[in-house]
Amino acid sequence: MTRVKRCRRKDRAPKEPAAAPTNVRGYEKVAKTNAGFENYYQEQGLISEDEWPTFLETLKTPLPVTFRITGSRSHAQELRRILETEYIPRLKGIVIEGESVEPPRHLSWYPDRLGWHFTASRSQLRKSPELANFHKFLVSETDVGNISRQEAVSMLPPLLLDVQPHHWVLDMCAAPGSKTAQLLEAIHAADQDGSIPTGFVLANDADHKRSYMLIHQTKRLQSPCLIVTNHDGTFFPNVNVAPANAKPRTMQFDRILCDVPCSGDGTFRKNALMWKTWNHNNAVALHSTQIKILLRSCCLLKVGGRIVYSTCSLNPLENEAVIAEVLNRCKGAIELVDVSDQLPNLIRRPGVTNWKVINKEGVHIENLDEVPQEDKRKYLASHFPPENSGSLGLEKCIRVYPHLQNTGGFFVAVLRKTKALTAVDRAAEVRSEETEGSTTEPKEQEKSIEIELKSKKEGRINENPFIMMESDSEDIDQFGNYFGVSKNFPRDSFLVRSEGHKSKTIYFISKAIKELLGCADSNRLRIVNTGVKVFIRNAPKDDAFPFRIHSEGLSMMFPFLSDVRVIDICVNDIKVLLEQQNPKFESFAESTQVKLKSVRPGCYICRFDPSKETKTNNLNVVLFPVWRANVSVNILLNKKEQQSLTLKLSIAAKINIQANFNDTNTSVAKVKEDGPIAEN
C-alpha cells in the first residue's frame, strides 16, 4: 500500500469576525451608531450624499434569510421543485398582526432559481404554523447539507470564477466552506451516471478547526474530487506533480478563489457588535497580509487561469489598494477582467480609482512622507493610490452595497494571468524541495509586500496516514464481488486511514486526487480530509457479509453496481422503515418479503422509483442502504438523513409518517439478531 502522511498545525485565528450570538445578554441593545465609521466613509465618498441616509439605515436592519439549494443538478432541481410547488403556495397571503409576510423569493441574479431569500422575522415564524413548518424544512435540509444558509453576496465569487469540470481549483481561504461547495457543484455540473470529473477542488484554510467545517459543508456533494488542507495562505507550498506521460512540474491551478481575511465592515447587518468595535486600523493592518495571499495565488495560477479576489469589506485599503499593488508588482502578467455582462440582474457599482488614507485622528494623509514617525511601521506605500491608478482598470472591480438589493456589503475582483510571472511558471527551473512559497521577482520592492516569500518552518503534528489500497487486495475483491462492482470502476483509487489489515472505513478518491497524493512532494501538504466513505467493515454473526455500503458514497457508486444487491421497494416500505425500528419481514409489501427471504444476511440497497406511483412522480429515484438481518431489516441512514427523507415524502407524497428515528450517536450499534443499526 502507498502511504501519504496527513499533518496538522496549531489553530489560527478565524479569517473574519464571527456573527455575534443573539442570546448574549445586552446584544440587542448595542447602539447602532459609530461616528468614526460614518465620518470615515463619508470622507471616502463611496456613497453619494443622496444615497447616504438610505445606506446607513439599511445597515441598521437585519439581513433577510438567504439560502442556496446545493447538490448535483438533478438533486437540486428536485428540491427546488418541492420548494416551489409544495411550500411557496402555502406561504402566500399570510398576515400576522396586520402585517403581510412575503413568501420566499428567488434571487433574481442567481442562476437556475437556486438562490433564495426570506424576510420573515423569528417572532413571525413562531406565530404561523405554515412558517414554522417551512422553517423546520430549512433546518432539516441544512443539517444534511441539501441547503446552504449562505449570505447572498457570498454566493458571488464562485459564480464569477467560471469553474469547468476539468479545472484544478484552489480555494485558498476556504472555511467555513459554503463557497467551496459551490465550486464542487461546478466541477460536477456535467456529471452523468458513471462519470467522475477530471478536475478537483483543493480547499485550504489556515485554521485547523475551521478546516473541519469544510467537511460538513461539502458532505452532501459526496465528491471524490475534494481535498482539504491546512496551510497559511501566504506560504502555500510548491508541490511537484507528475501527470501521466509528462515530466514532473510544479502544481498550478486553473482557477483560484481568494476570499481573504478582512475587517468585515460589510457585515454590520449580521454582526451588530461591529457598531461598537469598528475602527479603520483593522483594514490598515490586514492590507499587507491580503497582498501576500493574492501574490502567492498569482504564482500558483496557470497562464490563462482566473483568480477571484473577494472581501466582505467596504474599505478601499483592503480592496482596490490591494488589487492595484498586485497589478503593479506583476508588471502586466496579471490583468483585471471585465465581468459587467455577467449576472445582469445584480445591481453593482464599479471599483474606485482614488481613495483616502486617514489616520486614527481622522486626518487625511496624502502620501507616505506625511505619516508621523511613530506611525511609520503601520503604513506602506501600497496603502495610497498609485500614480497609475486611473489606467489599471480598477473600475472593472465590483462593489456591492447593502441598500442596492437588500444584502451585505461586498467586493469582488476577477483577475486573469496573461503570461509567466515567475520561475514558478517554469517548473523545470525551480525545484519545490528548494522553495516553499517562493518566487523570483526583483527584491527592490518593500520587504513587507515582496513577491519573494521566504520559507517558513511550521509545527506539525502527525495523524493517521492516508494509505492507498492495492487494486487486487482481498477486501476490494470481497466487496467488489458482493456488490457487483463494474470492471470499469477504478479499483486502484480506494484508500484507508489506518494501518493494519482490517481497516474499518474505506474511501474513494478521483484519479486526479490519487495522482496528487501519490506524488513525491505530497508530504508537503498538511491534509485534513479527502475521499468519500464508500464501504464500512462490520463484525456480523453467522454468514452475514462483513461490509456495508455507506450512504455518503452510495449515489456515486450506484451506477457502477449490478442489481444483485438491489431491492426494489414501494413508498409504504419506506414508511415502515422510518416508523419502526428493526421491522420484521412481514411488515413489508409481499414482493419485498419475497426478495428479503431469498437473500443471505448483509447489506442491500433499497431503490424506490417514484415514477411507478402517481402520487410521488415529482421525486427522483430514492436510494438508501439497509441491513438485512435474520428476520428483520434496518435502515442505514443517520438521524438527520432520516428526518430529511421523512419531510420529503410527507410533503411531496402527502404521506403521514410518524417517524421513530434511530439514535445514531454511537458508531455502530447492533440489531437484535446481527448487523448494524445505523451509520455514524
DSSP state string for 620-679: PPEEEEEEE-SSBEEE---HHHHHHHHHHHHHHS-------PPP--SSS-B-SSSSBS--
Q: Which helix (H) or strand (E) holds 138?
A: helix 129-143
User: 417 - beta bridge partners?
Assistant: 334
Give the end-to-end CA distance of the chain in Å, rounded to a whole number: 26
Encode pLDDT of 332-345 as tens digits: 999 999 999 999 99
Phi/psi-derived region of residue 14, left when phi > 0, alpha when psi is between -120 and 50, beta in every other case = beta
The rounded distance, in Å, linking the Cα atoms of 431 and 429 is: 7
Q: Which three cell numbers stand for residue 218?
A: 461539502
Are the C-beta atoms of 432 and 237 separated by less than 8 Å?
yes
How does strand 2-4 pair with strand 461-462?
Answer: unpaired
Give the pLDDT confidence of 311-333 residue by residue, as tens digits: 999 999 999 999 999 999 999 99
Segment among 425-439, 486-500, 644-658 with least mean pLDDT: 425-439
* 491 and 424 together in one domain: no
Mean pLDDT score across all residues of the chain: 85
- Residue 20 is assigned to a structural domain of this protein: no
Higher pLDDT, 262 or 374: 262
Instruction: Look at residue 620 in the predicted model and tell me its pLDDT.
Output: 85
- Judging by beta carbons within 10 Å of its beta carbon (0-12, 13-18, 19+), is residue 305 exposed, middle or buried? buried
In Å, what is the CA distance from 346 to each residue of 110, 116, 398, 406?
A: 9, 14, 10, 11
CA angle 448, 450, 453 (to 5 degrees): 95
Whether 237 has a pLDDT exceeding 80, the answer reads: yes
At 576 the pLDDT is 95
Q: Domain check: are 117 and 222 in the same one?
A: no
Shared domain for 287 and 388, answered yes or no, is: yes
Per DSSP bridges, beta strands 253-259 and 168-171 are parallel
Highest mean pLDDT among 182-191, 210-219, 585-594: 585-594
**Using N-to-C axis directions, what is the helix angle for 571-579 and 639-652, rounded to 10°?**
140
pLDDT band at 122 (very low <50, low <70, confident <90, very high): confident
Going by pLDDT thresholds of 50, 70 and 90, the confidence category of residue 652 is low
Q: Is 457 among the domain residues?
A: no
380, three cell numbers = 506602506
101, 130, 149 - which closes a domain? 149
Confidence of residue 521 (pLDDT cuts 50, 70, 90): confident
Q: Do both 262 and 404 map to the same domain?
A: yes
Map residue 499 onto helix, strand or coil. coil
Mean pLDDT of 370-376: 88
Asked whether residue 291 is domain-assigned, the answer is yes
- Collapsing DSSP to helix, strand or coil, 261 comes out as coil
**CA–CA distance, 135 with 125 (Å, rounded to integer):** 7
606 catalytic? Reply is no
DSSP 94-131: -EETTEEPPPPEE-TTSGGG-EEEE---HHHHHH-HHH
8-state DSSP, 485: B
- How far is it, in rounded angstroms, from Cα 307 to Cα 294? 9
Residue 450 dihedral angles phi and psi, to the nearest 5° = -70, 150
Is the per-residue pLDDT at 471 higher than 80? yes
- Contact indicator for 334, 326 with CB cutoff of 8 Å: yes
Residues 513 and 569 in one domain: no
Q: At what angle do helices 178-187 and 208-219 cross, to 10 degrees?
A: 50
Between 132 and 612, name the one with better pLDDT. Answer: 132
Residue at 358: amino acid letter:
I
Domains in the chain: how many in total?
4
631 CB neighbour count, 10 Å cutoff? 16
CATH code: domain of residue 236: 3.40.50.150
650 in a domain, yes or no?
A: yes
Max Cα separation, the chain? 87
Q: Give binding residues as ranges.
A: 173-179, 205, 232, 259
Tell me if 608 sits within 8 A of 621, measured CB to CB: yes
Tell me the DSSP string of 172-229. Answer: TT-TT-HHHHHHHHHHTTT--TT---S-EEEEE-S-HHHHHHHHHHHHTT--TTEEEE
> Are 80 and 105 found together in one domain?
yes
Give percent above pLDDT 70 in the chain. Answer: 84
The annotation places the binding site for S-adenosyl-L-methionine at 173-179, 205, 232, 259
Both 344 and 471 in one domain: the answer is no
- DSSP letter at 476? H
Q: Please report the beta strands in 426-465, taking only residues with DSSP state E, as ranges in sequence order.
A: 461-462
User: What letter does residue 248 receive in the DSSP assignment?
Assistant: -
- Rounded-to-integer distance, Cα 317 and Cα 117, Å: 31
Shared domain check, 126 and 235: no
Cα 134 to Cα 91: distance, rounded to the nearest angstrom:
8
What's the rounded Cα separation, in Å, for the pair 44 and 38? 10
Pair 139, 156 in one domain: no
Q: In the block, which residue shows the cell 444534511?
A: 144
Q: Is residue 518 part of a domain?
A: yes
For residues 361 and 470, state if they share a domain: no
**What is the rounded average pLDDT of the residues 493-500?**
86
Secondary structure class of 497 (helix, strand, coil): coil
Same domain, 614 and 496: no
Q: Are residues 252 and 177 in the same domain?
A: yes
Catalytic residue among 7, 312, 397, 519: 312
Does 224 reside within a domain?
Answer: yes
Domain span including residue 96: 64-149
What confidence tier does 501 reach under pLDDT thresholds 50, 70, 90?
A: low
The set of cell numbers assigned to 60 is 441598521
Q: Residue 11's pLDDT band (boundaries 50, 70, 90)?
A: very low
Q: State how far the Cα of 177 lies from the Cα of 180, in Å rounded to an integer.
A: 5
Report the C-alpha gap between 246 and 515 in whole angstroms: 12
Query: If you average pLDDT over residues 480-506, what whole number do you get?
Result: 89
| pLDDT band, residue 664 (cuts 50/70/90) | very low
